A = this chain, B = another copy of it.
Amino acid sequence: MTADVAGRCLCFRTQRAARVLARRFDTVFRPFNLTNGQFSLLMSLYRPEAPTMSDVAPFLGMDRSTLTAALKPLERRDLLEVTVDKEDRRGRRLHLTAAGLALLERAYPVWKAEHDRLDAALVALDAAIDPDGLRIGVEALGRT
């Protein structure tokens, strides 16, 4: 029973991988006072047209109420701005501010470098960590 769940459950394995990767990227983003999730959220606002919450929440795979909460610390820091949609006053447009964009541009190279390190680690581990077709190895995924 345990072996089934721990060894094969995609949910179990994904949660575990998510924790390990979150810590890893949280570490590299710490100088910017950003978490991996805040980085992803800000990045998802960098589009020609400011998206609404209904655009962004599914894009991040999260509940709308989670997004509502996640916006607040970033809004307090003036990294984004929330406005009422002109066309549909129920909707909220999420705008990346100049400060938000500037921060993203500083964080991006750091993300890129870390992701390259991660890729290299995964390639090295490829054979060992792909028992079930789930190519997320976690056991050896601590900081390289």
Give the one of A2, A8, A24, A111 with max B CB within 10 A: A2
Say yes or no: A5 contacts B111, CB within 8 Å.
yes
- How many Å lie between the Cα of A9 and that of B107 in the bound state? 14
Contact with B along A113-144 (1 / 0, CB 8 A): 00100110010000000000111101000000
Known: A16-B60, A136-B134, A138-B61. A11 touches B5 (CB 8 A): no
- How many Å lie between the Cα of A6 and that of B45 in the bound state? 11
CB distance from A136 to the nearest CB of B (A): 6
CB distance from A51 to the nearest CB of B (A): 11
Say yes or no: A1 contacts B136, CB within 8 Å.
no
**21 A-B pairs whose Cβ atoms sit less than 8 Å apart in the complex:** A2-B43, A4-B112, A5-B43, A6-B40, A6-B44, A8-B115, A9-B40, A9-B111, A10-B21, A10-B136, A11-B21, A11-B22, A11-B36, A12-B36, A14-B21, A15-B21, A15-B40, A18-B18, A19-B60, A134-B135, A134-B136
Closest 7 A/B residue pairs (Cβ): A18-B18, A16-B61, A11-B21, A19-B61, A5-B43, A11-B25, A2-B46
